Amino acid sequence: APGARVAVVAPSGPVPEDRLKPGLDLLREWGLEPVVGAHVLDRHPQFGYLAGTDADRAADLQAAWCDPAVAAVLCARGGYGAQRMSDLLDWDAMRAAGPKPFLGFSDITALHEDFATRLHLATLHGPMAAGIDFLQHEGSRAHLRATLF
């Protein structure tokens, strides 16, 4: 709904700021308030293909999911690494927080499986905030907007 807070997290690969900004701007155009995870723009100190450490990526997702002011959680991009942080999430706390839309694809599929098996929730395999399809394809934008409203 307009005015809703949508968390943007990076459970997998690092996000270039120049690719994230247009996605955040589009969410704002729709009247949403993007809340960017603290580690979305980070890079892992040893493995540059990860958006920060496993613990930091897990903390961002955990905080977004458990924040009652956040209406939906949108992944910034895929890549690699989601399965590395899965066991670091407090699934009991996430279950207690209740359901909300969770969107992403590619490597994020590992988390979709976790939400299904651990929380018995259906999640959405869909566009991501820094994804080129989301930014350049009107159909992807329209479907995401319909999902969030």
| Cα–Cα distance for residue pair 31/62, rounded to 1 Å | 24
The pLDDT value recorded for residue 145 is 84
Domain residue extents for the chain = 5-144
For the entire predicted model, the pTM comes to: 0.94
User: Which of 23, 82, 89, 7 has the alpha carbon at shortest distance from 51?
Assistant: 82
Phi-psi sector, 15: left (phi>0), alpha (psi -120 to 50), beta: beta
CATH classification (class only), 5-144: alpha beta
What Å distances lie between residue 92 and 11, 15, 115, 117, CA to CA?
19, 29, 11, 13
Each residue's pLDDT, cut to its tens digit, for the chain (149 residues) gives 789 999 999 999 999 999 999 999 999 999 999 999 999 999 999 999 999 999 999 999 999 999 999 999 999 999 999 999 999 999 999 999 999 999 999 999 999 999 999 999 999 998 888 887 777 788 888 888 888 77
